[in-house]
């Protein structure tokens, strides 16, 4: 349980990177455990994810703040799972910072999943 943070540098500019990363249809392509995400209301998303040894379906909230290149999300339940993704200027490219909080997961599993997600982002949007 706890708070986790990691980051990745990209060759893609910050506006283009955020536009791609904040598109709900693209979420499964850069969040390792996520298998499907569907926008069902303004800030509501239905998701399918691999959690441990099982596949779970549920609902999450998602708020996109394009002006600040910031996206926050969370899921109801005992895990108190929530996260934040921000995209910053970094020279000609950008830096993506992801922060996660959960009460019910082992730290090494969460950190490994976070690292894997950032690796996927780097592969899709170009690491320097």
Containing structural domain, residue 92 = 2-27+63-125
Q: How confident is the model at residue 78 (pLDDT cuts 50, 70, 90)?
A: confident
Nearest in space to 94 (alpha carbons), one of 1, 16, 2:
16
* CATH number reported for the structural domain that contains residue 118 in this entry: 3.30.530.20
Which pLDDT band, with edges at 50, 70 and 90, does 22 fall under?
very high
Q: Tell me if 18 is assigned to some domain.
A: yes
Residue 55 lies in a domain: no
Of 79, 82, 85, which Cα lies nearest the Cα of 30?
85
pLDDT of amino acid 1: 66
**Residue 105's pLDDT band (cuts 50, 70, 90):** low
Give the single-character DSSP code of 69: T
Q: With respect to residue 110, please indicate whether it lies within any of the assigned structural domains.
A: yes
pTM of the model: 0.89
Residue at 116 is within a domain: yes
Q: Is residue 42 part of a domain?
A: no
Secondary structure letter of residue 85 according to DSSP? E
Q: Is residue 35 domain-resident?
A: no
pLDDT range class, residue 7, cuts 50, 70, 90? very high
How many distinct structural domains can be found in the chain?
A: 1
Task: Specify if 52 maps to a domain.
Answer: no
Q: Is residue 111 part of a domain?
A: yes
82 DSSP assignment: E
């Amino acid at each position: 349980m706890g708070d986790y943070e990691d980051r990745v540098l990209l060759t893609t500019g910050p506006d283009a990177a955020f536009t791609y990363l904040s598109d709900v249809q693209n979420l499964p392509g850069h969040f390792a455990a996520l298998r499907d995400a569907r926008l069902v209301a303004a800030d509501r998303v239905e998701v399918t994810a691999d959690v441990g040894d099982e596949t779970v379906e549920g609902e999450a909230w998602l708020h996109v703040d394009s002006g600040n290149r910031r996206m926050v999300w969370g899921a109801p339940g005992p895990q108190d799972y929530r996260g934040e993704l921000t995209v910053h200027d970094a020279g000609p490219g950008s830096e993506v910072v992801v922060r996660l909080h959960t009460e019910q997961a082992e730290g090494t599993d969460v950190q490994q999943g976070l690292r894997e997600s950032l690796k996927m982002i780097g592969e899709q949007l170009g690491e320097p």
